[in-house]
Amino acid sequence: MGEYLYCIIRMGETPKMDFEVRGIGNREIRCANYNDLTAVISETPLKEYKPTEEYTKEHKNVNLHILENHTLLPVAFGMVFKNKNILLNTMRRLYPVLKKSLRLVDNKIELGVKVVIHKELDVEKTFGKDKEKLRKECEADFAALDKIAVQAKAGKLFSERLVLNRSFLVDREKIDKFSAAVEKLRDKYKKLKIQYTGPWPPYNFVNIRIMGRGR
């Protein structure tokens, strides 16, 4: 059996280490400690995990559960180690990077904002060349969110309905302020849909991929 890795947290950060969540394949969540770091893992058969809906949901659920009480470094989906020793050796090798990444995301979470054109509207007919103008206007207004966040990143516009797709790294204490700013923008852009999601593990700001393959 191998070890499936979900995320890395600080050891002993809080006394609450009894995880009330099950891992991939309904397996028990356990910890592997190296120095002051803890890897959140579950036992797993040695195989390549395809990112199916079920598996990715299980992976995400574990990280969301841990995120409730910890600062975490999310690990890309499908990271399986042959045994605990290899995992601990990897943690030893990556220790400085892991520590640095943990400092970056300390007490922070990720929030996502997408601005979307209504489905029933024909994007080309309705906006035409004005779509670019609308995008620029949105970017300028939504820059207000960048100021509240520690960091912001533009995501891919994977749909022609998308006007803006942005991720934000936000201090936990500033979530309310950030949410209020989103609501203000929602009022201004009533003709568009605004999808506000989170809190998420900081996938877009640190995402550990060990030994090549990731999500």
If one asks whether residue 108 binds other proteins (CB under 8 A), the answer comes out as no
Taking Cα atoms as reference points, which of 46, 25, 29, 48 lies closest to residue 38? 29
Q: If DSSP states are collapsed to H, E and C, what string results for the chain?
A: CEEEEEEEEECCCCCCCCCCCECHHHCEEEEEEECCEEEEEEEECCCCCCCCHHHHHHHHHHHHHHHCCCCEEEECCCCEECCHHHHHHHHHHHHHHHHHHHHHHCCEEEEEEEEECCCCCCHHHHCCCHHHHHHHHHHHHHHHHHHHCCEEEECCCCCCCEEEEEEEEEEHHHHHHHHHHHHHHHHHCCCCEEEEEEEECCCCCCCECCCCCCC
Check: CB of residue 71 under 8 Å from CB of residue 108.
yes
Nearer to other proteins, 55 or 95 (CB): 55
- Minimum distance, C-beta of residue 120 to other proteins, in the bound complex (Å): 9
Query: x/- site string to other proteins, residues 12 to 51, per CB under 8 A?
Result: ----------------------------------------
Which residues, numbered 191-210, are part of the site for other proteins (CB under 8 A)? 193, 195, 197
- Minimum distance, C-beta of residue 202 to other proteins, in the bound complex (Å): 19
d(CA 3, CA 87): 8
Query: x/- site string to other proteins, residues 54 to 93, per CB under 8 A?
Result: ----------------------------------------
Binding region for other proteins (CB under 8 A) out of 81-89, 158-166, 168-176, 182-190? 158-166
Nearer to other proteins, 10 or 161 (CB): 161
- Minimum distance, C-beta of residue 6 to other proteins, in the bound complex (Å): 21
d(CA 10, CA 176): 25
Which residues, numbered 117-146, are part of the site for other proteins (CB under 8 A)? 119
Binding region for other proteins (CB under 8 A) out of 26-34, 40-48, 152-160, 172-180? 152-160
If one asks whether residue 114 binds other proteins (CB under 8 A), the answer comes out as yes
Nearer to other proteins, 118 or 133 (CB): 118
- Report the interface residues with other proteins, using CB under 8 A: 52-53, 114, 116, 119, 156, 158-159, 161-162, 193, 195, 197
